[in-house]
Amino acid sequence: MSLYQVTDGVAIVTLNRPPLNTLGLPLRRHLADALYAAMTDTTVLAVVVTGAGRGFSGGGDITEFDLPCGNQEPAPRALFDRLEACTKPVVAAMHGMALGGGLELALACHARVAHAATQVGLPEVHLGLVPGAGGTQRLPRLVGVEKALNMILSGSSHSAASLGDSGLFDLITEGDVVNEAVALARKLGDEVASGRSPRRTGTLPCHMDNAQAFTAFARATLKTPLGGSPAPKACIDCVEAAALQPFAQGMDRETEIFRSLAGGEQFAALRHVFLAERTATHIVDSPTVPARTIKQAGVIGGGTMGSGISMALANAGISVLLVERDSRALERALKTIHEHYEGLKKRGKLTPEVASARVALITGAVDYDGLADADLVIEAVFEDLDIKRQVFERLDAVAKPGAILASNTSMLDIDHIAAFTRRPADVLGLHFFSPAHVMKLLEVVRGAHTAPDVLSSAMALARKIGKTAVVSGVCEGFIGNRMFEAYMMQAGLLLDEGALPHQVDSAMERWGMAMGPFRINDMAGNDLAAKIRAARIERDPTRVYSGTFDAVVAMGRHGQKVGRGWYDHIPGQRAPALSAEVQAAVVAHSQQLGLQRRTIGAEEIVDRLLLALANEGFKILEEGIAQRASDIDVVYTSGYGFPRWRGGPMFQAEQRGLADVLATMKRFSVGPAYQRADHFWRPASLLVRLATSGDSLRHLNKTETP
């Protein structure tokens, strides 16, 4: 767990808990034992603490947070207090990363030496917490109240080089960080031997003129979604305590707030999503095999999606050949890409050199010849199976053996697409979300014949381009869009019964969704949704949609792109405006159906839409489309605007209680005859089994995780 050696009067303690040296109980005990050994060894004048492998320390072990070992001694706060109180100087030698508890450990040391590329930060706010082991009290004493608060509230990581003049580090080096730290430790050891005390962070002053006014301003400017995490405000409270109270009282305040948040529902949800994203990288029922090398890629189709995919690849240093049907379309696509990078350069987001390098990685062509050397080709053309057949038949003839052939389809059958080639093992789905260079989610669709190394290559690619990847089986709409159809079906039926579009959107947004269902439709295009709906009804005439969807399209209200959809989209006005025309059409449709409109409260709106998602999620699980329940939550929190602090639709169902989910669905199963509510709300057999047995999705997740 930790390595201990003494060289010329300096004890070097190496944290060794791969892969990130997280500070779980075993490592904390080893560190405590090493510090005791150093303090009681008369030959030791000073101590250096460093990390093995990839970095100094990735922080606390989040898996311990709800286990007894999470609070067992030495707990992080007590251990770091003990370290700071050491009579011999302790120097942190930092490389790789020092995040969360890892940075708090370094803050408690008497000096800090960092490699220039070391990433440091306190990301706890993203988990709905405050730093709980002295971060809010020690950091302001080193870098000042304002800078500390900005770092804590952002939760972002920063390179040591960018913090060179902050006061956080005693030395930043491009050389061997341990050697530099040992040299500094010897110097400090000699000073202590001559009668000086180590420089303890907790004893440093933390003063700011008008600190209360500053923190009051910070609270007033917080942009927290309605019902969102209380962690940002709590961070301000803790830093204010650092500025206004003695160190010990500030530490007590931090501990009190941390424990309060750690016992809350939002931390449970955020922790669930954090762990779910890590678990999603494990592929069930697939051998661990090396990934194929991907250095050159091709993208077919230069529209919004194809251009975005090209930029996502180029941003990761992968060269891209973008293929369009003609020179005019290609010129338009390359111009869009160039303008994007020019915009980033002008806003200072990229240096001119980086922007130019990324533009240079994307070249264009109007034929497939240049794809012969590609390691990966991603098709991003229209959602038409015949068009995709033509593309994959041509790719099959041109692409080299071993090239991965991927479709960006959002709903078509990957196995049908793979059958257009003589190499179905090399084919899979890579469903990006628009804009592809921004959105984090990537659904990796495993076909019946997809080879294990093709699947592992897709997951490795996702990591390289900064995506959150989830493996899906083959079905219409995969995980996300299949569930979203049920969500939209209920949204429309609510309009028939008495709700108006803005009431449905408002209820969901106040609950925490980034955007309500009708605003989403306006953004995506109501005409596109109409085509998808028509195709689904053709395959399954029993599906029931509200006629208001088609009524809006018939009025030419196709969405934001034409300035008119469920809302009026006025140029220069960010918020959509209510449409009297649409509201009249909604009411008229209810009259055509012979329905007596009723008042529908926000609670019913939220319940019907969330439970529609969850029930479809249970069906996806029992069919084996999703590997595990937590993967479904990752899809929705990463790609569909589901609030992370709610944990995802499956987590929400579990928190509510599956028996109550069943009871509520049963109430909803009685409705207007045309809706076939009893059919829509028929519960998935897995949901019934778990609710009846008292088993949990959490247990199901664990049994399905390698």
Query: Which amino acid is residue 688, in one-letter code?
Result: V
DSSP single-letter state for residue 380 = -
| Rounded Cα distance, 607 and 148, in Å | 41
| Rounded Cα distance, 566 and 522, in Å | 6
How many Cβ atoms from other residues are within 10 Å of residue 466's Cβ?
Answer: 12
Q: Is 104 a catalytic residue?
A: yes
H or E stretch at 4: strand 2-7
Alpha-helical (H) ranges within 51-130 are 76-84, 101-108
Query: Which amino acid is residue 449, in one-letter code?
Result: H
| Rounded Cα distance, 253 and 134, in Å | 10
- Nearest Cα neighbor of 391 from 324, 300, 309 is 300
- Indicate which residue of 84, 104, 240, 704 is catalytic: 104
| Rounded Cα distance, 109 and 200, in Å | 7
SS3 570: coil
Owner of token pair 């160039």: 338
CA distances from 613 to 112, 432, 488, 567 (A): 49, 21, 10, 24
Owner of token pair 């409109």: 597
Q: Is 146 a catalytic residue?
A: no
Note whether 38 and 47 are within 8 A (CB). yes
How many Cβ atoms from other residues are within 10 Å of residue 538's Cβ?
Answer: 9
| Rounded Cα distance, 234 and 242, in Å | 13
User: Where are the strands (E) in 126-209, listed by range?
Assistant: 158-159, 171-173
> Cα 609 vs. chain centroid, distance in angstroms?
23
- Indicate which residue of 84, 124, 324, 616 is catalytic: 124
**CB within 8 Å of 40: residues ≥ 6 apart:** none
| Rounded Cα distance, 493 and 676, in Å | 11
SS3 130: coil
**CB within 8 Å of 523: residues ≥ 6 apart:** 515, 559, 560
Reported residue count of the chain is 706
- Phi and psi (nearest 5°) for 49? -110, 125
Q: Measured on CA atoms in the order 289, 294, 297, 303, is the torsion positive or negative?
A: positive
Based on DSSP, count helices (H) and strands (E) in the chain, helices before strands.
Answer: 29, 17
| Phi-psi sector, 390: left (phi>0), alpha (psi -120 to 50), beta | alpha
User: Where are the strands (E) in 33-152, listed by range?
Assistant: 46-51, 90-94, 97-99, 111-115, 119-121
| Rounded Cα distance, 703 and 706, in Å | 8
Active site residues: 104, 124
